[in-house]
């Protein structure tokens, strides 16, 4: 059999160890793994490289990178109401498009092959996804804020987005009600019903910080997780972002309902939300993925930062240095993310999606090389990524993102920044 691409001589990450093997790719799937040198149209020599499955950034608000560094040192509720929301009102659809390209550039450059996004003006992000060749799970971020007619309009936009983009190229669409403090239980129930009917996933923020818990408890006498459980929102098609402040009994509920959790450690630290008890989630057998959250609260889209800090924080939180192993962090960033969103990737196995990351491990920080997993997790950084393949296509080659004009995007976003800073008036022309 003739393959499209052969990756040869690399050290392949397989079942928690690195093995020297070759990979064959045909179309958008991995079609061969083994020692043979199979025939292929194109050969990538991965000598001196580690080959990881695709990395998934399982929770983000992509074009928030337009707000990177605009305001720091504020708690979540103030940061949202005084900084984020006023600036977002000034962003046009076009701005979101360039913000998406900026974010995708950084993701591809640092080895992210797939991301999950919940935001506004999602048509623009979808366009950017198809143009750049990254894979994405996208949803329009909905919030009824206690207003029934607003809820109807939000759900209409969310459904329209799904209809327009689901399974177009590398896009998987889903539903994204923002949270239990911005959506009513009635609205959430309706969204879940619609998602179930469409056979799609739902993603929601849950229990990010204690302010949120207090708000929801005041209104409904329950925590966000208890509330979601009480309305039948939690099941294997539900993805919960954060779960920083959850009790043991709530962890039990999440486990029983088979919901997935996305851990966003750097954002949680930066907004002083706390440290999610990930070691407890893992012990319970809950599927935990990793995300960056929006770049305004991170401030980067480099998943290798999350991969490093995740086990460090759990060791600190649990007081146990063996609480979370290096390979568990890699799994969270790869196959667990793909699994949460129902995608057949994040693993280097025949039949899986051909999303692959090739990392140059020849630099001094990877030596001596006693254990490559430990070196990648604790000594690596995303900029060692050399080549990236998404959906069977090479999108990053020798550190160059082939599908994005880097200088043009930087110029565009600097112009957007100047406009945001210069004029105080809102841009309402093409905003929701
Ligand atoms: Zn978020």
Residues 6+ apart with CB under 8 A from 16: 327, 331, 373
The verdict on 112 and 9 lying in the same domain is: no
**For residue 116, how far is its CA from the centre of ligand 1 (angstroms)?**
10
At residue 84, the pLDDT reads 87
The verdict on 288 and 308 lying in the same domain is: yes
> CATH number, domain at 24?
2.30.40.10
**For residue 195, how far is its CA from the centre of ligand 1 (angstroms)?**
20
The verdict on 27 and 73 lying in the same domain is: no
Question: Is residue 127 assigned to a domain?
Answer: yes
**Structural domains counted in the chain:** 2
The verdict on 136 and 228 lying in the same domain is: yes
**For residue 165, how far is its CA from the centre of ligand 1 (angstroms)?**
21
Q: Of the residues 290, 309, 340, which one is the last residue of a structural domain?
A: 340
Q: Given pLDDT bands bounded at 50, 70 and 90, which one contains residue 85? A: confident
At residue 361, the pLDDT reads 97
**For residue 80, how far is its CA from the centre of ligand 1 (angstroms)?**
11
Quick check: 204 and 176 in contact, CB under 8 A? yes
Closest CA to 73 of 211, 209, 271, 269: 271
**For residue 293, how far is its CA from the centre of ligand 1 (angstroms)?**
5
Question: Is residue 428 assigned to a domain?
Answer: no
375 has a pLDDT exceeding 70: yes
The verdict on 301 and 360 lying in the same domain is: no
The verdict on 46 and 69 lying in the same domain is: no
The predicted-structure confidence for 35-60, as pLDDT tens digits, reads as follows: 998 999 999 999 999 999 999 999 99
The verdict on 46 and 66 lying in the same domain is: no
**For residue 294, how far is its CA from the centre of ligand 1 (angstroms)?**
6
423 has a pLDDT exceeding 80: no
Task: List strand residue ranges (DSSP E) for 220-305, in order.
Answer: 238-242, 260-263, 288-290
Q: Of the residues 299, 320, 340, which one is the last residue of a structural domain?
A: 340
> CATH number, domain at 326?
3.20.20.140
Query: CA-CA distance, 147 to 61, in Å (whole number)?
Result: 24
Question: Is residue 419 assigned to a domain?
Answer: no
R_g of the chain, CA atoms, integer Å? 21
Question: Is residue 410 assigned to a domain?
Answer: no
Closest CA to 224 of 235, 238, 239, 214: 214
The verdict on 103 and 240 lying in the same domain is: yes
The verdict on 225 and 149 lying in the same domain is: yes
104 has a pLDDT exceeding 70: yes
The verdict on 229 and 288 lying in the same domain is: yes
Domain that holds residue 380: 3-53+348-401
Task: List strand residue ranges (DSSP E) for 157-266, in order.
Answer: 171-173, 176-177, 202-206, 238-242, 260-263
Question: Is residue 406 assigned to a domain?
Answer: no
The predicted-structure confidence for 146-163, as pLDDT tens digits, reads as follows: 999 999 999 999 999 999
The verdict on 104 and 247 lying in the same domain is: yes
- To the nearest whole number, what is the mean pLDDT of the chain? 95
**For residue 282, how far is its CA from the centre of ligand 1 (angstroms)?**
21
Instruction: Indicate the pairing of strand 385-390 with strand 356-360.
Output: antiparallel
Question: Is residue 324 assigned to a domain?
Answer: yes
At residue 78, the pLDDT reads 85
Question: Is residue 60 assigned to a domain?
Answer: yes
The verdict on 42 and 87 lying in the same domain is: no
79 has a pLDDT exceeding 90: no
**For residue 383, how far is its CA from the centre of ligand 1 (angstroms)?**
24
Q: Phi and psi of 181, rounded to 5°?
A: -95, -10
Question: Is residue 212 assigned to a domain?
Answer: yes
């Amino acid at each position: 059999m003739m393959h499209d691409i052969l990756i040869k001589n690399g050290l392949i990450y397989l079942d928690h160890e690195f093995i020297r093997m070759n990979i064959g790719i045909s179309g958008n799937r991995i079609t061969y793994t083994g020692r043979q040198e199979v025939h292929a149209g194109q050969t990538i020599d991965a000598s001196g490289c580690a080959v990881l499955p695709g990395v998934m950034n399982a929770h983000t608000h992509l074009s928030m990178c337009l707000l990177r560094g605009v305001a720091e040192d504020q708690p979540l509720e103030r940061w949202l109401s005084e900084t984020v929301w006023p600036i977002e009102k000034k962003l046009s659809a076009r701005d979101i498009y360039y913000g998406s390209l900026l974010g995708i550039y950084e993701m591809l450059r640092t080895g992210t092959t797939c991301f999950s996004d919940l935001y506004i003006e999602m048509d623009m992000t979808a366009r950017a996804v198809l143009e750049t060749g990254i894979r994405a799970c996208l949803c329009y971020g909905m919030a009824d804020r206690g207003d029934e007619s607003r809820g109807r309009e939000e759900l209409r936009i969310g459904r329209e987005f799904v209809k327009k983009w689901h399974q177009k190229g590398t896009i998987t669409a889903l539903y994204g009600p923002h949270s239990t403090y911005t959506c009513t239980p009635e609205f959430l129930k309706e969204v879940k019903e619609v998602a179930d009917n469409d056979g799609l996933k739902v993603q929601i923020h849950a229990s990010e910080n204690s302010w949120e818990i207090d708000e929801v408890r005041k209104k409904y006498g329950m925590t966000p997780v208890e509330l979601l459980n009480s309305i039948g929102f939690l099941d294997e098609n539900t993805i919960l972002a954060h779960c920083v402040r959850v009790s043991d009994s709530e962890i039990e509920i999440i486990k029983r309902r088979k919901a997935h959790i996305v851990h966003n450690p750097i954002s949680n630290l930066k907004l002083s939300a706390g440290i999610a008890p990930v070691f407890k989630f893992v012990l319970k057998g809950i599927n935990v993925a990793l995300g960056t959250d929006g770049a305004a609260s991170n401030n980067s889209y480099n998943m290798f930062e999350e991969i490093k800090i995740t086990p460090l924080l759990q060791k600190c939180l649990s007081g146990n240095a063996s609480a979370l192993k290096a390979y568990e962090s890699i799994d969270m960033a790869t196959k667990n993310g793909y699994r949460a969103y129902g995608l057949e990737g994040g693993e280097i196995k025949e039949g899986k999606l051909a999303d692959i990351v090739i990392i140059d491990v020849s630099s001094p920080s990877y030596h001596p090389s006693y254990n490559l997993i430990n070196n990648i997790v604790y000594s690596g950084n995303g900029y060692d990524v050399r080549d990236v393949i998404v959906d069977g296509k090479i999108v990053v080659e020798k550190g160059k993102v082939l599908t994005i004009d880097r200088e043009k995007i930087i110029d565009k976003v600097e112009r957007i920044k100047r406009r945001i800073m210069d004029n105080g008036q809102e841009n309402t022309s093409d905003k929701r």
